[in-house]
Amino acid sequence: MTVDLKKYPTIAAYAEKTAEPAWFTELRTKSLEKAVSLALPSFEKIRYQRWPIQLKQPLGEKNSQKNLIEKIDVEQTDNMVVQLGQETLELKISDEMREKGVIVCDWQTALQEHSDLVQKYFMQKAVKTDEDLLTAQHVAYLTSGLFIYVPKNVVLKKALTSYFVQDATVENDYVHHVILVVGENSEFSYLENLKTVGEQATTANIIVEVIAQENSHIKFASVDRLGAKTTAYLNRRGYLEKNAKIDWSMGMMNDGNIVGDFDSDLVGDGSHSEVKIVAISTGRQIQGIDTRVTNIGKHTIGHILQHGVILSRSSLVFNGIGHIIKGAKGSDAQQESRVLMLSNKAKGDANPILLIDDNDVTAGHAASIGRVNQEQLYYLMSRGLPKKIAERLVIIGFLGPVLAAIPSKLIREQLKTTIERKLIDGQKDE
């Protein structure tokens, strides 16, 4: 150890109690030291710097009341993980997964039983520990998460479903990390649910790293509904090697202020990322979503499709960034961001950015901000539907192209249900 833990008694006590490996404890202290000189990340047109988004509370174990999980709808599947706060309440995987050598374990178990694997992949490729202030704080205060490792030549048809429930019945920071590594020639589907119980003002810092090795195919879907008093930094990153593909499908149904930082680095030749996002902002919340695909390898494909709806006095910013690096010959970068506004007091922005550093590539973008189609609304109301129901049908139709493009039928149905619920809640504020 090169760090004197006597300077960090809180970290030392936590590390001893959880029996975490020395290399990770050292990484915590170094990250805490670096955080002092690092700046917050900057995103075009997303003004969040004065939010309570920095982590303030000391590192420590915090227990949650188990009966809180009863407030969450959990669908039983063959492969699933349920976590409440820092604790894992349920983890089960099929015999098929075990026989094929797939590793699924919570964060503490991963550090204790698979330390070498975690050290090999933890914030080495997709995200760097010292990338900015929020990533450094994340390492220093990390207390929960999930580690998934799929060996090469493993094809799994049944998805792994996770339920990560933030405990906001007390003022706890929620610092959570997921690593998903899929080996060569393997296929894997993962469905993530983020939810909140409780109404205390809290801060969440969540990072997901997806490593897609050569010729692998990953389907990553998420339905996020963090609470109204949760201020969150949500970072999902993909690192794609040769001929790898990631299908991202994300439903941003949060009720509080959120910064979404979603990136895909197409490092290997022929790699491919499809990013599909639906978002609804209600009340006075602000959601800033920064989605980037960087074409690094040759003949890489990066597509971004984002549709959002804004109600009441809320705000929604979509940044779509396609960056073709010098040397990425034959690559393709396309993006579409559209925002539908249902209130004169709402604020929306669809901000397309193309950065093209090479020739012999294709790139394009589309962006729009508009209001509900009055002819469609009038038609539905003329058939006897109340205005609010007619509005919801028009909105679901607007989000339809993104929903239809989501590969998982289960996710499509979950998103439709969540969208309907959030729209009903949002219309109450009108």
Structure tokens at 191: 């469905």
Predicted local distance difference test score (pLDDT) of residue 1: 46
How do the domains of the chain map onto residue ranges?
5-268
Confidence (pTM): 0.95
For 344-364, give the DSSP string: TT-EEEEEEEEEE-SSS-EEE
Per-residue pLDDT of the chain (430 residues; tens, 9 = 90+): 456 677 889 999 999 999 999 999 999 999 999 999 999 999 999 999 999 999 999 999 999 999 999 888 888 889 999 999 999 999 999 999 999 999 999 999 999 999 999 999 999 999 999 999 999 999 999 999 999 999 999 999 899 999 999 999 999 999 999 999 999 999 999 999 999 999 999 999 999 999 999 999 999 999 999 999 999 999 999 999 999 999 999 999 999 999 999 999 999 999 999 999 999 999 999 999 999 999 999 999 999 999 999 998 999 999 999 999 999 999 999 999 999 988 888 999 999 999 999 999 999 999 999 887 788 888 888 888 888 888 888 888 888 877 887 766 777 787 888 888 888 776 666 6
CB 351 within 8 A of CB 45: yes
- Using DSSP's 3-state secondary structure scheme, residue 103 falls into strand
What is the Cα–Cα distance from 88 to 112, expressed in whole angstroms? 15
